[in-house]
């Protein structure tokens, strides 16, 4: 970062506003000259004719034009100085306030903007990344305003700066909250040289902007990841110690805990990229893209998204949203996870003529485990749904392939609740939704709440998966609302069961061979190669959900037990007909998949490259 804390603290932006005020007298003098010249020019035009008169008038017009141009330039300089001075002063004061408050409470703020907590209490360590981000963002903002002010002054006085002078500041990023369309327009407006510089320098977080091409996101995020890893490794090499020693004692080597977290999660992201590229066939690695990367997110748990194949050029895109325990810190992308690998393999074999891609999206704060009390509350799903919707909707903006992409979003476990909330609560646009082992759909109370135009909500809930029954059993709400109502609030519970007939989804077969009783292990079977569920998902994600019936993969929905009224009542005067009514007795707990003939549940469902 080219601007330091001490530089900003010692700056004097008021000098710019003073200079701007001083130009008012110069502009007033020019106004007097212009008024006199305009009066004289009018007299010349009315009194002097012929060749000599025309020459004199032309000369007077040229002088007047020169004065008007000078005035316009001075006015532009004045505006640039006044605006820049005010913005720089506000930014400086903001930095002074933040840094002063930190120092007053025992924090250390380095000149490059890193906030280091006092040793006691240790709890303060977790706030270091957040305060560091605030201080460094203010430094970056001061640098950008300073550069923009200098550029505006140069332009005003007629001296255009070179396209990319040595040491020139990077182009300012889009404003916070910019849409994917606005980010795309910003990127396209940059010169090739500026795009290269931004890609090479890769400011942290820039590669996560929705609206940037996937290849650009990958290049930027990999550079940030490499820097995160190199920071600790370089310190280790410089001091002749191992990286583990630096990670255990970062302050001894000029680093802090945030540097260590970024290093550790950066390594896991790199290992995840390697596994997703080479997992099942190291000799023929598939192209992978680091679509998203934030190693410090959610108190150091870290988020990431890896694409297998390029979504920008693919005809079919599957977006996998995992559930509980998915984070960089948990090593979800590397710990034998072949969900994306298996789905892409079967999508490509279901329709070899199409380009296919799978985005493994681990971009939200998922519950840590099944004993995390947050698992029965939808708040994380709603927040994650908003983030998911932004990323998925951006795929429509950056897509360069022929026609519109066919996008299927597949959520597993708590991730399926997140997918439902992304559609129903945050306006996510995709062709189809797939919900696996779904504990409830929260904001979506029926398939119509997903807002799919011509698409379907597909549901894969194994009858022996206990998590898939939560939406109908109300067990989570009953258990947690009592002892945990105060910390969790009264909204405990994740909503409707999408496998129920009344929900209006399309259920596909997802049973587990050899399993005839509820088993938590069955909750993790859905992406297993050869399974009914992967077979069905691959058909759906490759654009052939309408072929599930032909493939024998349609399953009956769950229904509620009912009691029926008699059709007629006998009386001494003859039978009296009655309207026939089926009265449901409780939730949809009758599952036609439970108790299926075991021989019909097999693990040999694979596409072999012949198109559906």
Structural domains in the chain?
A: 5-162 (1.20.1260), 287-547 (3.40.50.1820), 559-589 (no CATH)
Q: How many CB atoms lie within 10 A of CB 205?
A: 15
pLDDT of res. 155: 73
Pick the closest to residue 422 from 393, 400, 401, 397 (CA basis). 393
Mean pLDDT over 96-102 rounds to 92
Q: Name which of 78-92, 364-378, 395-409, 550-564 the model is least confident about.
A: 364-378
Asked if the model's pLDDT at residue 160 lies above 50, the reply is no
What sign does the CA torsion over 415, 418, 424, 429 have?
negative
* Higher-scoring residue by pLDDT: 418, 89: 418
pLDDT of res. 498: 95
On average, the pLDDT of the chain sits at 86
Question: Treating both helix axes as pointing N-terminal to C-terminal, what angle do 51-104 and 128-156 enclose, rounded to 10 degrees?
Answer: 170
Check: pTM over 0.85? Answer yes or no: no
Mean pLDDT over 463-488 rounds to 58
DSSP 121: S
φ/ψ (deg, to 5) at 320: -95, 125
Q: Name which of 18-27, 63-72, 382-391, 572-581 the model is least confident about.
A: 572-581
pLDDT of res. 45: 56
What percent of the chain is predicted at pLDDT more than 70?
Answer: 83
Asked if the model's pLDDT at residue 487 lies above 50, the reply is no
Asked if the model's pLDDT at residue 237 lies above 80, the reply is yes
Mean pLDDT over 30-59 rounds to 63
* CA atoms of 88 and 99, how far apart (whole Å): 16
What percent of the chain is predicted at pLDDT more than 90?
Answer: 55
* CA atoms of 455 and 546, how far apart (whole Å): 10
What sign does the CA torsion over 469, 470, 472, 476 have?
positive
Asked if the model's pLDDT at residue 476 lies above 90, the reply is no
Asked if the model's pLDDT at residue 192 lies above 50, the reply is yes
* Higher-scoring residue by pLDDT: 519, 186: 186
Mean pLDDT over 126-135 rounds to 90
pLDDT tier, 159 (very low <50, low <70, confident <90, very high otherwise): very low
Q: How many CB atoms lie within 10 A of CB 394?
A: 23
Q: Where are the alpha helices (DSSP H) in 439-501?
A: 470-473, 475-488
pLDDT of res. 538: 98
One-character DSSP codes across 547-581: GTTTTT-B-PPBB--EEE--SEEEETTEEEE----
Contact 437, 465 (CB under 8 A): yes
158 Cβ neighbours under 8 A, 6+ residues apart? 73
pLDDT tier, 483 (very low <50, low <70, confident <90, very high otherwise): very low
Asked if the model's pLDDT at residue 581 lies above 60, the reply is no
pLDDT tier, 491 (very low <50, low <70, confident <90, very high otherwise): very low
pLDDT of res. 545: 97
Mean pLDDT over 114-136 rounds to 91
Asked if the model's pLDDT at residue 50 lies above 80, the reply is no
Pick the closest to residue 228 from 169, 177, 270, 187 (CA basis). 270
> Taking CA 566 as the corner, what is the angle to CA 561 and CA 568, rounded to the nearest 5 degrees?
165
* CA atoms of 372 and 392, how far apart (whole Å): 27
pLDDT of res. 413: 94
* CA atoms of 285 and 529, how far apart (whole Å): 19
Burial class (CB in 10 A: 0-12, 13-18, 19+), 518: middle
DSSP 295: T
pLDDT tier, 369 (very low <50, low <70, confident <90, very high otherwise): confident
pLDDT of res. 384: 96
Is the bond leading into 121 cis (omega within 30 degrees of zero)? Answer: yes
Strands 356-362 and 303-308: antiparallel
Q: What is the pLDDT of residues 260-283, one digit of tens each?
A: 999 999 999 999 999 999 976 777
Asked if the model's pLDDT at residue 447 lies above 80, the reply is yes
* CA atoms of 362 and 584, how far apart (whole Å): 39
* CA atoms of 21 and 233, how far apart (whole Å): 52
Q: What is the pLDDT of residues 333-367, one digit of tens each?
A: 987 679 999 999 999 999 999 999 999 999 999 88
């Amino acid at each position: 970062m080219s601007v330091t804390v001490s530089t900003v603290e010692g700056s004097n932006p008021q000098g710019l506003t003073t200079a701007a005020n001083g130009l008012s007298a110069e502009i007033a003098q020019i106004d007097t000259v212009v008024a006199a010249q305009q009066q004289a020019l009018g007299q010349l035009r009315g009194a002097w004719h012929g060749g000599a008169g025309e020459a004199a008038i032309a000369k007077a017009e040229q002088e007047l034009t020169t004065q008007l141009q000078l005035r316009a330039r001075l006015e532009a300089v004045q505006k640039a100085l006044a605006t820049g001075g005010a913005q720089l002063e506000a930014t400086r004061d903001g930095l002074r306030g933040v840094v002063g408050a930190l120092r007053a409470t025992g924090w250390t703020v380095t000149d490059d903007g890193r906030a280091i907590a006092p040793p006691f209490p240790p709890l303060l360590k977790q706030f270091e990344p957040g305060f560091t981000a605030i201080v460094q963002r203010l430094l970056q903002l001061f640098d950008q305003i300073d550069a923009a002010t200098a550029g505006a002054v140069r332009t005003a006085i007629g001296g255009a700066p070179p396209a990319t002078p040595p040491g020139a500041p990077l182009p300012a990023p889009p404003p916070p909250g910019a849409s994917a369309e606005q980010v795309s327009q910003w990127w396209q407006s940059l010169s090739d040289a500026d795009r290269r510089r931004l890609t090479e320098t890769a400011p942290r977080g820039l590669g996560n902007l929705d609206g940037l091409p996937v290849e650009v996101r990958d290049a930027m995020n990999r550079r940030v990841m490499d820097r995160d890893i190199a920071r600790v490794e370089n310190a280790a090499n410089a001091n002749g110690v191992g990286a583990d020693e630096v990670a255990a004692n970062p302050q001894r080597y000029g680093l802090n805990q945030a540097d260590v977290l970024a290093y550790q999660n950066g390594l896991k992201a790199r290992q995840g990229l390697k596994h997703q590229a080479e997992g099942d066939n190291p000799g023929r690695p598939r192209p992978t893209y680091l679509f998203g990367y934030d190693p410090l997110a959610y108190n150091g748990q870290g988020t990431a998204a890896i694409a297998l194949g390029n979504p920008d050029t693919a005809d079919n895109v599957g977006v996998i949203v995992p559930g509980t325990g998915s984070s960089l810190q948990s090593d979800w992308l590397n710990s034998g996870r072949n969900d994306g690998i298996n789905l892409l393999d079967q999508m490509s074999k279901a329709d070899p003529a199409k380009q296919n891609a799978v985005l493994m999206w681990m971009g939200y704060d998922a519950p840590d485990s099944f004993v995390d009390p947050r698992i029965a509350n939808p708040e994380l799903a709603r927040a994650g749904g908003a983030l998911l919707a932004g990323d998925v909707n951006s795929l429509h903006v950056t897509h360069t392939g022929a026609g519109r992409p066919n996008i299927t979003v597949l959520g597993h476990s708590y991730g399926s609740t997140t997918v439902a909330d992304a559609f129903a609560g945050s306006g996510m646009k995709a062709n189809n939704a797939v919900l696996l082992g779904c504990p409830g759909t929260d904001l979506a109370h029926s398939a119509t709440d997903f807002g799919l135009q011509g698409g379907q909500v597909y549901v894969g809930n194994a009858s022996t998966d206990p998590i898939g029954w939560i939406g109908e059993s109300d067990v989570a709400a009953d258990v947690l609302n009592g002892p945990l109502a105060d910390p969790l609030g009264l909204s405990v519970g994740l909503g409707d069961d999408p496998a129920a007939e009344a929900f209006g989804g399309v259920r596909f077969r997802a049973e587990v061979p050899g399993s005839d009783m509820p088993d938590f292990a069955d909750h993790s079977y859905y992406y297993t190669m050869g399974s009914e569920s992967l077979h069905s998902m691959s058909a759906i994600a490759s654009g052939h959900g309408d072929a599930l019936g032909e493939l024998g993969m349609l399953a009956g929905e769950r229904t509620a037990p009912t009691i029926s009224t008699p059709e007629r009542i006998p009386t001494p005067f003859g039978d009296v007909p009655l309207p026939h009514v089926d009265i449901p007795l409780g939730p949809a707990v009758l599952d036609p998949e439970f108790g299926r003939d075991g021989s019909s549940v097999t693990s040999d469902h694979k596409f072999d490259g012949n198109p559906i």
